[in-house]
Amino acid sequence: KNQVEQSPQSLIILEGKNCTLQCNYTVSPFSNLRWYKQDTGRGPVSLTIMTFSENTKSNGRYTATLDADTKQSSLHITASQLSDSASYICVVSAEGGATNKLIFGTGTLLAVQP
């Protein structure tokens, strides 16, 4: 069964600190993996996309990694800001690209405190 699991479920950190969110997946055949940021009461917005051949990709203070062998991805946030408080969702796309094959994780709720 195609599944995406994220950990931790929630996380509280102090402003300026770093944090790492985890995503494990069992999706086959794998096409790509995206991290989305969802602010409270808003729609998700894509942060990064990782394909099979990519190990690391950065988008500002966000750095995503992918280990296709172990089927794990991480999202590292550097020097956190209050505006980073949101839910971070890992989404894996099965081969073919049709959105009916997008598998969503349950998200990690991040709270950045001053």
Partner 1 sequence: DGGITQSPKYLFRKEGQNVTLSCEQNLNHDAMYWYRQDPGQGLRLIYYSQIVNDFQKGDIAEGYSVSREKKESFPLTVTSAQKNPTAFYLCASKPDGRTEAFFGQGTRLTVV
Interface with partner 1 by CB under 8 A: which residues? Answer: 4, 9, 31-32, 34, 41-46, 49, 89, 93, 97-100, 102-107
What is the H or E stretch that residue 87 is in?
strand 86-94
Q: How far is the CB of 113 from partner 1 (least distance, A)?
A: 21
Q: How far is the CB of 3 from partner 1 (least distance, A)?
A: 9
94, 10 contact by CB (below 8 A): no
Q: Which is nearer to partner 1, 75 or 80 (by Cβ)?
A: 75
Q: Which is nearer to partner 1, 31 or 78 (by Cβ)?
A: 31
- 1 three-class SS: coil
Q: How far is the CB of 76 from partner 1 (least distance, A)?
A: 21
Torsion of CA 94, 86, 12, 91, to 10 degrees: 0
Q: Which is nearer to partner 1, 8 or 97 (by Cβ)?
A: 97
- 74 three-class SS: strand
